[in-house]
Structure 1
Amino acid sequence: MITRIEINGFKTFSDFVMEFTPFTVIAGTNASGKSNLFDALNLLSNLADKDMRSAFKNLRGDAEEQFTQFSSKEFSDKINLAVEILVDKTVKDNWGEEAILKYTRLRYEIQINRIRNTKGFDDLKISHEELVPIKHQEDKWVKNNIDTNFLESWIPKVKTGKRGKPYILTDNKLNKQIIKIPLDGKPGPGREFSANEIAQSALSSVNSVEFPHVFAAKKEMLNWRFLQLNPEDLRRPSSRMAPDTVSHSGANLAAALFRLQQEDEFVLNDISIELNNLLPNFTKVAITEEISENKFVIKLLSDDGREFTSRVLSEGTLRILILCILKYDNQHKGIICFEEPENGIHPFRLKMMIQLLKGLSTDFTDIELPLLPLRQMIVNTHSAAFVDKILKENKTYKEISVWFSKLVSKISSNNKQNCKYTKLLPVSYSHGQISLDFLEPSEIAMTELEVEKYLETKDFES
């Protein structure tokens, strides 16, 4: 679970800071930078597993376009990213080895420089990388978001051997930048890399619990799921040889549902009820086998007795179905980043959609949830009706936060020109009024007026 992000030099972000809750909503008009935040998270997730060029290749735009643009031909020469995360108390690798973590609160930093080489091409180099534990006494996020009665379920007590050095650090050795991974909790040399020679992050090099806290941070970032649903993948039946977890495009949905049915004979009833709450025309979800094709197929039964396979279902119906399935999948963990969850939902059923999204995020007050992996839901939306419903009906639910995205003008320190940058402001609603934090007094009135105007927008759901 990500709890804080700091970004500088990436797209429209300059000295940007934002905190997250288990269910985080980012609202605002189009072209205000909402999707750029997902791009930053996507880059971090890529860097945990891929070489740098591949990590940048999977983003919107060329590698150079990920660096903040100051003018038509001038870009930032470095990107700084930092995240603070909460991870599960145990971590398991692909060889079945398991480790219990001493710290579940970690902070990861990385700086990527764009350097022109002797051949005239730009190289991407890591000049700084660090992973450190967040000290309990300094952890304001935990104090604000997890009740002390439930604290030990998520934050282990550190009785002895407090960590004195980072799990990943950058050092200077003979005028060279060296990135080190010291052994975690045991003596030994650990690993060292020359920053000028490595093509990917030190974090990505760890694949086992030999370095448990580094491996836990890597697994957390790899579990950030960016749902970019492809209708063709959602509709396609699953082969018996298909993976039984849902991909970011929605592929393998039928295989995942078949696995859930094998694990719990009543789960299809729960998923059917969840779907019916949002789409009353459908009363039952079923998974069948096409023996001749050796495939699994999802079928929905309508209230008039007709049966529809996933091949003919609308994209809107499939978007809702995948969320219902993920909610009841005990193997689902990490973050879901989801754009415009209100699409295809009748305005009278927005409240039920919000409840479904809440069900896909961890409730720190639920004593049964520590048995499940950590879950987080981050959505962006430009629907005023969706945001208004959340603000007015979840005033006391601290696991939900709403942020308003806007572009602000700022003089660039590089070329002293006026540039537009993304700013996100936390929004709350109490006593019938909107409240905003992190603002200069002179900005408050204008920005609150912007939010009021946004919430009064008559979009398709109003």
Structure 2
Amino acid sequence: MITRIEAYNYRCFENLAIDLSRFHVLAGANGSGKSTLLDIPVLLGELLTARQIVDAFLDPSPTTGRPPRALSLMELTHRGRGGAFGFAIEARLPDEVADLIAESTRDPRFPAPTHLRYELHLAPVDSGLGLEIVGEYLVLFHEDTPVRPIPGQQAFGDPDEVRDTGRGKSRRVQPVWLEHWRPVIARTRGPVVRFTPEAGRQGQQLKLRSQHSNLALDTVPFDDTQFPAALWFRSMLWDGTALYAPEWSALRQAAPPAGREPKLDTQGRNIPWLALQLKREDPALYDAWVDLVQLALPQVEAVEVTEREEDRHAYFRVTYSGGYKVTSSGLSDGTLRVLALTLVPYLPRTPALLVTEEPENGIYPQAIEVVMQSLRTVRGSQVLVATQSPLVLAQVSLADVLATRMDPATGAVTVVRGDQHPRMADWHADLDELDLGTLFATGVFE
């Protein structure tokens, strides 16, 4: 699970640092950075597979189909001022990964790690026409000994820095972070990357070469006995992060065959197949999902999935009160949205990180509560939701809210947890009488 996201000099974020838990709702006005924040894990995943670094920014997204993130590299920096920019993500290690490292570690200087931190620093080259990696680090640490960077600067420094002793000799400088954190990946400008195995004794190192345009994280040696945390994190970014944005026009079409074990498509194109698989493997759970749909849409009597014999395509068939049946092609946007969003918690396999924006669009207000309950209860997933709707905020607790706000003087966006928002100090006594939706509508979070 991602526990912290940082961004420096990137778009609307001058210095962003926000701690995360398993479920959050980002709330703020248009242009307040909600989409940019939610996109950071998705972006890092796409950087892993990009042919060139700039492709992840200037080409359409290969995972979501969205337009390019920018038309020029200058647009990527805060207020277009240029220079380097960067990101950091911290994540809690899965129990099986943490246990593997703990069992194989014999160095008493280092407590068994519970988290990892990954940093990526990029800078313009070729007169601003390209980007290069000027710093990339992955370290393991225990949650009791976190180390935070000075805003806008690298946290770890050059792992191979040397200092002149004044006697014609030089010696290596040991960065302070080595005292508490276990380095795994260390890279500065240039192709040389230093990999340090996570398991066993610290000290054994591999120095490998990586192309300037490729992340070192993508070249971690594929040995899950030596690099279990790095390989898990790479997999989570590359294959376990989903910006779930169902394409309603595609949902009206019959879904083509999706394979033996379909996983959630980010555009929702295989939702009928996922529902059909659920019905075949766990009919009782499928019936529970239909009951939830009926709670959101009381006029629905039944939800069925039909597989066409001639081409093996699948589509929904919804029966309404009075016996009238409507197939996927005739369902409303709101009904399709309810089907696509409420099915997710019933799936046997869900992304490690599920991101979705404005789930309230097109949904009848009474059904929004059901949709939000569904998103909150996705098993085994961290869920981040962006919204502008007071109706959505009325369904969540104060600690779940991440309030985004742009400073009109500087153009910088700040993100504050709802329970840490300075304006909420005067409202605590009355929270039992006012829901968060009402507070949001009155501008308290701005």
Which residue, out of 219, 226, 229, partners 1:205? 219
Equivalent residue for 1:456?
442
Matches within 5 A, 1:211-250: 211-222=227-238, 223-242=240-259, 244-250=262-268
Residue number among 131, 140, 143 corresponding to 1:136 in the alignment? 143
Equivalent position to 1:110, from 108, 120, 144:
120
- In the alignment, structure 1 residue 125 sits paired with structure 2 residue 111: no
Residues 1:351 and 1:325: Cα distance change in structure 2 (over 3 Å): closer
Q: 1:203 deviation in Å?
A: 1.0
CA distance in 2, matches of 1:208, 1:31: 41
Task: For 2:391 and 2:381, locate their aligned partners in 1 and report how far apart those are by CA, in whole Å.
Answer: 25
Would you say 1:427 and 2:441 are equivalent positions?
Answer: no
Alpha-carbon distance in structure 2 between the residues aligned to 1:313 and 1:48: 38
Call closer, same or farther: CA 1:250–1:331 in 2, change over 3 Å.
same
C-alpha contact (below 8 Å) 2:14/2:78 kept by paired residues:
no
String of CA shifts for 1:195-240, please: whole Å, max 9, x gaps: xx42111112248444321110111212121122211322222333
Cα shift at 1:177: 6.5
Structure 1 residue ranges without an equivalent (≥5): 92-98, 141-161, 363-373, 411-418, 438-450, 458-462
- Give the Å deviation of 1:271: 1.2
C-alpha contact (below 8 Å) 1:427/1:436 kept by paired residues: no
Partners of 1:346 and 1:33 in 2: how far apart?
26
| Residue in 1 that maps onto 2:40 | 40
Partner of 1:80: 86
Q: Distance in 2 between matches of 1:101 and 1:63?
A: 42
In the alignment, structure 2 segments of 5+ residues that lack a partner are 62-67, 103-112, 148-178, 428-436
Specify whether residues 350 and 208 from structure 1 end up closer, same or farther in structure 2 by C-alpha distance, changes over 3 A only.
Answer: same
Q: Does 1:89 align with 2:89?
A: no
Distance 1:88 1:50 in 2: 27
Superposed CA offset, 1:325-369 (max 9, x none): 211112113112111122233333433332122112x6xxxxxxx
Change (3 A) 1:236 1:163: farther
Tell me if the contact between 1:67 and 1:75 (Cα under 8 Å) persists in the aligned partners: no
Contact 1:16 1:423 in 2 (8 A): yes
Amino acid at match of 1:2: I
| 2:242/2:351 contact within 8 Å kept | no
Q: For 1:107-155, what per-residue CA distance to the aligned partner results, in whole angstroms no more than 9, with x for missing partners? A: 1111011112xxx562211111111112132369xxxxxxxxxxxxxxx
Once the two structures are superposed, residues 158-204 of structure 1 have per-residue CA deviations (whole angstroms, 9 ceiling, x without a partner) of xxxx99631211268xxx5732222342586535235xx42111112
CA contact (8 A) 2:342 2:371 kept: no
Q: State the SS of the aligned residue for 1:240.
A: coil
Query: TM-score, normalized by length of structure 2?
Result: 0.76
Residue pairs, 1:272-291, within 5 angstroms: 272-291=290-309
What is the rounded CA distance, in whole Å, between the counterparts of 2:2 and 2:286 in structure 1? 31
Change beyond 3 A, Cα 1:31–1:241? closer
What is the number of residues matched between the two proteins? 376
Q: 1 CA distance for matches of 2:339 and 2:244?
A: 13
Q: Distance in 1 between the 2:14 and 2:128 partners?
A: 26
Is contact 1:273-1:283 (8 Å) kept?
no
Supply the RMSD in Å over aligned alpha carbons.
3.1
